Amino acid sequence: FFLSLKLENKTKGKPQKQICQVVLDHFEKQYTTELGDTWTSIRDVLTYPLCWQYAVLRNKFSHSAQLENTLRVEGYRPAFQGLLPYLPASLKCYVRRTPGRFPAQKHQAGKLKEYYLLNAASLLPVLALEVKDGEDVLDLCAAPGGKSVAMLQCAYPGNFHCNEYDDLRSIWLKQTIESFIPDPLMNLIMVSKLDGRQIGDLKPELYDKVLVDAPCSNDRSWLFSSDIQQATLRLIQRKELSSLQFQLLRSAIKALRPGGSLVYSTCTLSKAENSDVINLILNTCSNVMPVDISEMAKAVSQEFAFLSGMQQHELLVLPEKGRAWGPMYVAKLKKM
Is 271 marked as binding a ligand?
Answer: no
Angle between helices 167-180 and 146-154 (to 10 degrees): 30
Is 136 marked as binding a ligand?
Answer: no
**Number of compact structural domains in the chain:** 1
Residue 91 lies in a domain: no
Residue 267 is a catalytic residue: yes
Residue 207 lies in a domain: yes
Is 320 marked as binding a ligand?
Answer: no
Residue 79 lies in a domain: no
Full DSSP string of 278-326: HHHHHHH-TTEEE---HHHHHHTTTT-EE-TT--TTEEEEE-BTTB---
| H or E segment to which residue 181 belongs | none
CATH number of 185's domain: 3.40.50.150
Q: From CA 173, how far away is CA 105, in angstroms rounded?
A: 16
Residue 184 lies in a domain: yes
First-to-last C-alpha distance (Å) of the chain: 54
Could you read off the pLDDT tens digit of each residue along the chain, which spans 336 residues? Answer: 333 334 444 444 556 789 999 999 999 999 999 999 999 999 999 999 999 999 999 999 997 889 999 999 999 999 998 899 999 999 999 999 999 889 999 888 888 999 999 999 999 999 999 999 999 999 999 999 999 999 999 999 999 999 999 999 999 999 999 999 999 999 889 999 999 999 999 999 999 999 999 999 999 999 999 999 999 999 999 999 999 999 999 999 999 999 999 999 999 999 999 999 999 999 999 999 999 999 999 999 999 999 999 999 999 999 999 999 999 999 999 999
Give the pLDDT of residue 295: 97
Is 142 marked as binding a ligand?
Answer: yes
What is the pTM assigned to this prediction? Answer: 0.95
Q: From CA 236, how far away is CA 222, in angstroms rounded?
A: 13
Is 195 marked as binding a ligand?
Answer: yes
Is 147 marked as binding a ligand?
Answer: yes
Per DSSP bridges, beta strands 328-335 and 314-318 are antiparallel
Is 60 marked as binding a ligand?
Answer: no
Is 145 marked as binding a ligand?
Answer: yes
Report CA torsion sign: 57, 63, 82, 53: negative
Residue 318 lies in a domain: yes
- Sheet with 55-58: list strands edge to edge: 77-78, 93-95, 55-58, 115-118
Residue 71 lies in a domain: no
Give the pLDDT of residue 109: 81
Residue 152 lies in a domain: yes
Catalytic residue (choose from 51, 154, 267, 285): 267
Residue 75 lies in a domain: no
Report CA torsion sign: 231, 237, 239, 244: negative
Domain that holds residue 132: 21-54+119-335
Residues 200/251, Cβ–Cβ less than 8 Å: yes
Work out the angle at residue 81's Cα, subtended by the Cα atoms of residues 78 and 84, and round it to the nearest 5 degrees: 130
Burial class (CB in 10 A: 0-12, 13-18, 19+), 253: buried
Burial class (CB in 10 A: 0-12, 13-18, 19+), 102: middle
Residues 114/62, Cβ–Cβ less than 8 Å: yes
Is 213 marked as binding a ligand?
Answer: yes
